[in-house]
Structure 1
Amino acid sequence: MSLEILLKRLGLSTVARVLTDLIPVAEREDWSYAQFLERLLSEEVAHRAENRVATQVAKAKFPFAATIETFDFTFRSDLKRQMLGRFLGPELVSDNRSLILEGPPGTGKTHLCVSIAYKAIQNGFAARFITAAALINELKIAHDLNAALKPYTQPHVLVIDEMGYLGYGPGAADVLFQVVDQRYQQGKPILFTTNKPLRQWGRGLHDEELARAIIDRTLHYGEYLKFTGSSYRLKGAKFDFDRPSPNEGTLPSENAETHKTDLTTSKALGIQ
Structure 2
Amino acid sequence: MTTADPISPVGNDSRELFARVQRLGLFGLLASWSEIASEPWLERLVTLEEHERKRRSLERRLKSARIGAFKPMADFDWAWPKRIDREALDDLFSLRFVEEGINAVLLGPNGVGKTMILRNLAHQATLRGHTVHFTTASGMLAELAAQESSAALSRRLRRYCQPKLLCVDEVGYLSYNSRYADLLFEVVTRRYDEPRSILLSTNKPFAEWSQVFPHAACVVTLIDRLVHRAEIVDIEADSYRLKEAKERAAKRAATRVTRRRAAG
Task: Flag whether TM exceeds 0.5 (same fold).
Answer: yes
Contact between 2:84 and 2:236, CA under 8 Å: does it hold in 1? no
Aligned twin of 1:142: 147
What is the distance in 2 between the residues matched to 1:239 and 1:71?
A: 16
What is the distance in 2 between the residues matched to 1:114 and 1:127?
A: 11
1:192 partner SS: strand
Q: Are 1:235 and 2:243 counterparts?
A: yes
1:1-272 equivalences under 5 Å are: 41-76=46-81, 78-79=83-84, 81-143=86-148, 144=150, 145-207=153-215, 209-238=217-246
1:235 partner SS: helix
Deviation sequence 1:233-263 (CA, Å, 0-9, x none) = 23354389xxxxxxxxxxxxxxxxxxxxxxx
Q: 1:142 to 1:113 in 2, by over 3 A?
A: same
Structure 2, unaligned runs of 5 or more: 1-24, 28-38, 249-264
What is the distance in 2 between the residues matched to 1:152 and 1:187?
A: 13
1:228 partner SS: coil
The structure that is helix-richer by fraction is: 2
Between 1:223-232 and 1:157-166, the stretch displaced more is: 223-232
4+ residue segments displaced more than 6 Å? none
Tell me how far 1:200 sits from its aligned partner.
1.1
Tell me how far 1:37 sits from its aligned partner.
6.0
What is the distance in 2 between the residues matched to 1:104 and 1:238?
A: 18
What is the distance in 1 between the residues matched to 2:200 and 2:219?
A: 13
Contact between 1:67 and 1:118, CA under 8 Å: does it hold in 2? no
Higher relative contact order (CA 8 A, sep 6+): 2
Q: 1:42 to 1:71 in 2, by over 3 A?
A: farther
Tell me how far 1:204 sits from its aligned partner.
1.5
- The AA in structure 2 aligned to 1:112 is I
Q: RMSD of the alignment, in Å?
A: 3.0
Q: Provide TM-score, normalisation by structure 2.
A: 0.69
Q: Provide TM-score, normalisation by structure 1.
A: 0.67
